[in-house]
Amino acid sequence: MYKLSTQTKKMLADTLTPVNIYLKLRDVFAGSILLESSDYHGNENSLSFVCCDPIASIQLKGNKIDSVFPDGQKSSKPITSNEVVLQSLEDFRNSFEVGPAISKYPYAGLFGYMTYDTVRFFEDVIIQKEEDLIPDLVYKVYRYVIVIDHFSNELILFENTVEGDTHPVMGLAKLEKIIYSNRFATFSFQSPNGEVSNLTDQDYLQMVQSGIQHCKRGDVFQIVLSRRFERNFSGDEFNVYRALRSINPSPYLFYFDYGSFKIFGSSPEAQIQIKNKEASIYPIAGTFKRTGNDHEDALLAEKLSKDEKENAEHVMLVDLARNDLSRSADHVTVEVFKEVQYYSHVIHLVSKVSGKLQ
């Protein structure tokens, strides 16, 4: 059992942004990650995080799951059944003991990702073509967690240390000095050649037609069709993330640097939120682009709320959310239904489905 103790410091964040904090820290700590809210709707999704200096990790790739602990101990297990994955995650989480909460913000949790293909370890789903370019799952415990509360304009620093660890640490004072420095490196990005795809336009259109037929026959509720685009580049790929957050701001942006690969994206919604054993899903379906004119936006919002196609898709997602939560929660209810919400670039229809975990 590794007992974590946490030091914290609070300060103003009115002259700082998540991006410039990340740029300052990534050169000091390799493998830093950024979770950013650049278009929050309210206090509930107004937090950004920069995490650096991992002290423990768990990774699933191929047919084994590997764990690394703060004292250097390592564990590697072959995946002989789906239960091994769940048990390994439970064992890793239970290896850490966290004292009484010292803040309302997350500071000593696991930060990372699961790919879509990880579903095969939790559901009876067969992946037709397994990709092994990156791990299916990576979660890490970080020594330093920096929280930016955009709602209150505050910056909160957390330093997590393992009791008994004699390794020297930077300390919050030096971390603060780096954050408030005016120096950070930026690099250019070039991608001179066009992209290539794993499917031609004609192949993709045939997939769309096939998907339409499956929907008409009632084989599925919804099909999400995708194709891969690739292109060569040189320079700093963080510039692509910066461009993404500019054209598609959202409450849930992320940029994860794992050295040999990076993943980043932008989403208006969280997959699921759990607090005090209450699990909530916020289905978002129905989207119109804002005009920049309040009167015209109000007319668009009214049109959106009456649009047959957008409403049909939204009702379907609410039903799916109810079904998903009902498998693990009791008293599942639709607390909010088809609420019109305004974001900086778009107007969404948003619902809230909640239940109490069993």
Mean pLDDT across 290-318: 92
Alpha carbons within 13 angstroms on the beta-carbon side of residue 322 total 14
The model's pLDDT over 234-260, given as tens digits with 9 standing for 90+, comes to 999 999 999 999 988 889 999 999 999
Q: How many whole angstroms separate alpha carbon 27 and alpha carbon 50?
A: 13
Q: How many whole angstroms separate alpha carbon 28 and alpha carbon 53?
A: 9
Amino acid sitting at position 149: D
The model's pLDDT over 188-240, given as tens digits with 9 standing for 90+, comes to 899 888 899 999 999 999 999 999 999 999 998 788 899 999 999 999 999 99
* Cα dist from 178 to 32, 37, 113, whole Å: 14, 22, 27
Q: Under a CB-based contact definition with an 8 Å cutoff, are residues 348 and 286 in contact?
A: yes
DSSP of 19-63: HHHHHHHHTTSTT-EEEE-SS-SSGGG-EEEEEEEEEEEEEEETT
CATH of the domain spanning 2-180: 3.60.120.10
* Cα dist from 266 to 34, 240, 255, whole Å: 12, 12, 9
Q: Under a CB-based contact definition with an 8 Å cutoff, are residues 222 and 312 in contact?
A: no
Structure tokens, 77: 């297990």
pLDDT at residue 166 greater than cutoff 90: no
Q: Under a CB-based contact definition with an 8 Å cutoff, are residues 135 and 60 in contact?
A: yes
Alpha carbons within 13 angstroms on the beta-carbon side of residue 150 total 18
Which sequence spans correspond to the domains of the chain? Answer: 2-180, 198-233, 273-357
Sign of the C-alpha dihedral computed for residues 162, 164, 169 and 172 taken in this order: positive
The model's pLDDT over 135-155, given as tens digits with 9 standing for 90+, comes to 999 999 999 999 999 989 999
Under the banding of pLDDT at 50, 70 and 90, the label for residue 303 is very high
pLDDT at residue 100 greater than cutoff 90: no
Q: Which of 176, 170, 258, 185 is nearest to 23 (CA)?
A: 185
Mean pLDDT across 19-30: 94
Of the two residues 108 and 35, the one the predictor is more confident about is 35
Mean pLDDT across 94-107: 89
φ, ψ at 12 (rounded to 5°): -75, 150
Q: Which residue has the tokens 């069709």?
A: 225
pLDDT at residue 42 greater than cutoff 70: no
φ, ψ at 296 (rounded to 5°): -65, -35
Mean pLDDT across 105-122: 90
